[in-house]
Structure 1
Amino acid sequence: MPEILTITLKPAVDYATSTEHVEAGPKLYCGTPRVDPGGGGVNVARAIVRLGGSVEAFVVVGGPMGDRLLTLLAAENVPTVECRVAGETGYSLAVTDAGSGEQFRFSLPGESVSETEAQIILDRIYNTVQRDEFVVLSGGVANGLPDNFPQKVQAAVSQRNGRLIVDTSKAPLLHLIKSPSAPLDVLRLDRSEIEKAVDRPLLSIAENLAYSKQLVERGVAQIVVCGHGSEGSVMVAGDQKFFCHAPQVPVRSKIGAGDALVGALTLSLARGDVPEQALKWGVAAAAATVSTEGTALFELADTEALLPQCRLERC
């Protein structure tokens, strides 16, 4: 099985807690927080380890918060490749209103990276990627990096004949969609991200599939996976189209669900599964994650139990 490398350009230390009621004005007393390593690629790597896969997590870190992130990853036995920068790593806070069950999420960004550090990061990525490796670039792009940085990573990975899976957002995602340099192996995005790209709501699975198919036809990616809320996820792989129905589970926290999907999907592909089977694994891992509290990820046994309930439909 090929090795897997995840890349996190904007990691964070994730805090999750709860309070009796969230309201403006009074001081809110919270419970003891749960603290986890976070950021797209970090969570993807954590998911792959939980599924029994072999992975390395490349993380751009700085300051005491970066040190804490690495300590948390070591506690979960996630092998890391650290790329040090001068600025402090960011963190996030999720507070659940115990009365209503609503979750309030706050992201506090790390400091910007310099132009010199940007080149150091890219060079370090190139030197870390192994030949024929699966590489996952997941999460936000750090402040100070250009919008086309994912495509710079793509060029570095292609020189190693690697397979690149991208799950990013905001301006870098829009740049990938509007100005593709070469097809990614896999692009994963949420329905809300597609809606921003087309500037209109996608009300049906058919609309979601149609736009995902356009991305494949335009050469943005060979495989496009797009979430459709609690209903499940669509996949367009070449001329094949699928919809995987998500199992019904109690929703406690959506944090990390998309990353769990990417981790399980990537590991399944690396093990040689066909894309639609990899999609089922991803949907099962995402469903298992939303039924956990705060920033916790799924358990392997829960994912395996939900897998048969992920009904695949060829469209």
Structure 2
Amino acid sequence: MIITVTLNAAIDKSLSVPNFRLGRRHRTVEQRTAAGGKGVNIARALKTLGQPVIATGFAGGPTGTRIVDQLTEESILNDFVRIREESRTNTAVYDPTNGQQTEINERGPAVSEKELELFRDKLLYLARGADMVVMAGSLPRGVDSDIYAHLIRELRKSDVMTLIDTDGEPLRHAARAEPDVISPNVLEAEELVGHEFNDDEDRIIAVGEMVEQGAREAIMTLEDGCVACVLVDGHAQRFRVSVPTREDVAGVGAGDAFLAGYVAARYSGKSPADCLAYGVACGAESTNHLGAGLVEAREVDRLLSDVEVRALSAPAEVS
């Protein structure tokens, strides 16, 4: 079983608005509303890919009820802690004429210490029957930035694999807690290591730096794939994985689809290189859909033949 954790779950509205301009009135040509938050998006993709998954986190107020109801309608197993304050609503506007995206994410509810303790107990209970726990996304108000780090340490006692996709201080604390995998995007990785990247060589070096901070493995997602430092037969191996650029319908949630694909392949026992390739194919396929966590398994399999995986023995090999 795979568990996904979404502490700041949401209702996500995705709107396609041609020639979007601030300060003007617009009409959508396509729209989609769904339960969201990074962990929820990952759970949705995992369900589509045929993997056993249960989504957990916080859900509050009528919006929280809607989140749970929508997941149930999608036949995604879920077990959320109900909280007093209202869960958030996020809006993403995609302009199909130029490919630009505008995202407006609410801060989310405040969570009390009692509610947080209830969640800890629930997660540790669910983890008894789990192989992997994916913790993803921002934190709601009132939750300390080291919460993921604490959960990682607790889950390690249950011999559960932990994967983290977040940013800022929560990512910094989480990396030091020695999770199995961290998966930031470029901006998140730059913030974590403390400097900008100019090219692939910088990025390949950076995934090694992220591992040095504590994570066993590090994967940095890019627009055309990823760079990674993962374990192969117990030894660190760097990879550059890429897929040809393509015209997107929308790119919101591509990183979530990547991580879902990677987790699905890893849960199935595939090799590290194959896991990365499958993740990249899922991320690329998801850009064909308006809304996060949406993939078509047949199209992912078709895209796999276009994915290039390069194993690198040292950063200096990157051209």
What is the TM-score of this pair, normalised by structure 2? 0.91
Alpha carbons 2:57, 2:119 under 8 Å: kept = no
Alpha carbons 1:94, 1:103 under 8 Å: kept = yes
User: 2:79 aligns to what SS in structure 1?
Assistant: strand
Q: How far apart in 2 are the matches of 1:246 and 1:11?
A: 30
1:187 aligns with 2:182: yes
User: What corresponds to 1:253 in structure 2?
Assistant: 250
User: CA shift at 1:172, angstroms?
Assistant: 0.5
Alpha carbons 2:41, 2:292 under 8 Å: kept = no
Q: How far apart in 1 are the matches of 2:96 and 2:256?
A: 25
Structure 2, unaligned runs of 5 or more: 313-319
1:236 aligns with 2:229: yes
Alpha carbons 2:168, 2:192 under 8 Å: kept = no
User: What corresponds to 2:317 in structure 1?
Assistant: none
Alpha carbons 2:227, 2:240 under 8 Å: kept = yes
Query: Number of aligned pairs?
Result: 308
1:310 aligns with 2:303: no
Alpha carbons 1:34, 1:295 under 8 Å: kept = no
User: CA shift at 1:10, angstroms?
Assistant: 0.8
Alpha carbons 2:2, 2:133 under 8 Å: kept = yes
Q: How far apart in 2 are the matches of 1:34 and 1:289?
A: 14
User: What corresponds to 1:18 in structure 2?
Assistant: 16
Deviations 1:206-228 (A, max 9, x none): 1111111122234x211111113
**Structure 1 vs Structure 2: percent identity of aligned residues?**
26
Q: How far apart in 1 are the matches of 2:259 and 2:280?
A: 9
Aligned alpha-carbon RMSD (Å): 1.7
What is the TM-score of this pair, normalised by structure 1? 0.92
Alpha carbons 2:193, 2:210 under 8 Å: kept = no
User: CA shift at 1:109, angstroms?
Assistant: 2.6
Alpha carbons 2:259, 2:279 under 8 Å: kept = yes
Instruction: Say which of 220, 223, 248 aligns to 1:226.
Output: 220
User: What corresponds to 1:124 in structure 2?
Assistant: 122
User: CA shift at 1:282, angstroms?
Assistant: 0.4
Structure 1, unaligned runs of 5 or more: none
Alpha carbons 1:191, 1:229 under 8 Å: kept = no
Deviations 1:133-191 (A, max 9, x none): 211111112221101100111122112111101111122112334xx13x211111111
Task: Name the aligned partner's letter for residue 237 of structure 1.
Answer: V
Structure 1 ranges of 4+ moved more than 6 A: none
